Amino acid sequence: MTSFKREEPTLGEKIPLEIVQLASGFSEIGESYPADLDRVPLESLPILRKAHFRSVKDSLLNRARKRSGGAVILGSGGTTSEPLISVIPSGMFLKQIRQVWDPLKPDDVVANLNVGGELGSMFPFFSSLCDVSNAVSVPLGPLGDQKAVERWLPFFEAVGVTTLAGTPTQMSIVLGLLNETNRRLSTLKKLIWTGEAFSAAALEEVKRYGPLEMYGAYGSTETWVIGVSYPECPVGTFHWVPYQHVEFVEGQVTVTCLDTDCINPIVRYQPGDHALVCECACGRPRAFSVEGRADEQVKFLSILFYPREPYDVVSSHPDVHASQIILIDNGSPQERMEVQVVLNVCDGQVDIESATRSIRDHLLGKLYRLAHETHDRPERIVVRAVEQLNTNPRTMKTPYIVYRSSKKEG
């Protein structure tokens, strides 16, 4: 490997011992830590995952209450009663982040399109970032569909929005409307995206719109910001921030926070993404590219596959603008797969029937195990053309796989 090869740090040298003691001090996970913490290399410590994190919830909240420095309780995933709780110091590590990534200037007017409330992390992050950058913050929240965006556009012009902060899904709704109606926001110059990967379809809307500076932040609610990107970086490539120590254990992002303000147990924590160390076109150090979720395999009919496989195959079809895999009644004897596609429309003409047939043939041609399984029950895989994919209204993300029960279908 190149200059990225690093000596495995011993605790107490590069990794503050307090950070590891913080994790080992949680009674729920403490037993898996060695007694002589000050002498062991980092790699001998256990890997923590979401399930560990979930198990320390009560102690974590207790710790947050006892803290003198102030904290914010955030959450992700799960249901309303069982969100994955994360406690972030009130400063949100912004001082450390802005040492290497400072996308906002005082003359920026930022439309914050992230979900404001429901424990969402991105909205308060961008509010605070505006605050410390002396920029103007416009706390809009998700605008919903293009009709709603249409109503807000005069306001965007009136306040002089320079920056959209949100998920790629949210941005593609705004830019998609502007592209379709051949309009431009005269003051818009920047996008700051986070929360999900940039789909090819969303990126296409950005390119169609014209030159915009793109900044990105990659991380999770538990770890906080792990990597950041700049306008010169390819989309999906990030540079890890100096307050995080990042390992790539079996291809997975594995994070240890180096800042002793940390409240969460972030020691060799895996948020669940695959990534590769790389060199970035921008020339900055500590680059990695995020390669998608480290998903578990899904069982459908009698075969096992990674959800990404059918998604990638369908997305590679020339008629497909965007796609989503819906697994209906997964695990039941009636389970079936519906592939929803937004078709590319050329000159306003599209033969939906022949396009969806061709996409289905393409999918089964590439994934022969699926073809074999559905040979005598073709109704188990259906390709359906839709105008818009399913978006999670709470997070404004567009997942590439959706699990659904037929009982909830309208």
Report the interface residues with Zn ion, using CB under 5 A. Answer: 233, 280, 282, 284
Is 19 or 206 the residue whose CB approaches Zn ion more closely?
206
Is 227 or 310 the residue whose CB approaches Zn ion more closely?
227
Q: Are 211 and 184 in contact (CB under 8 A)?
A: no
Is 206 or 359 the residue whose CB approaches Zn ion more closely?
206
The CB-of-274 to Zn ion minimum distance in angstroms stands at 19
- Closest listed residue to residue 327, CA positions, set 343, 307, 297: 307
Residue 10 CA to residue 352 CA, distance in Å, equals 60
Residue 66 CA to residue 234 CA, distance in Å, equals 42
Residue 141 CA to residue 143 CA, distance in Å, equals 6
The CB-of-238 to Zn ion minimum distance in angstroms stands at 8
The CB-of-235 to Zn ion minimum distance in angstroms stands at 11
- Closest listed residue to residue 174, CA positions, set 111, 127, 228, 125: 111
The CB-of-231 to Zn ion minimum distance in angstroms stands at 9
Give 343's strand partners: 320
The CB-of-289 to Zn ion minimum distance in angstroms stands at 10
Is 233 or 396 the residue whose CB approaches Zn ion more closely?
233
Which tokens go with 153?
Answer: 């556009």
Q: Are 310 and 355 in contact (CB under 8 A)?
A: no
Question: Rg of the chain over CA atoms, in angstroms?
Answer: 23
| Cβ-count burial 238-276 (b if 16+ within 10 Å, e if not) | bbbbebbbbbeeeebbbbbbbbebbbbbbbbbbbebbbe
The CB-of-281 to Zn ion minimum distance in angstroms stands at 6
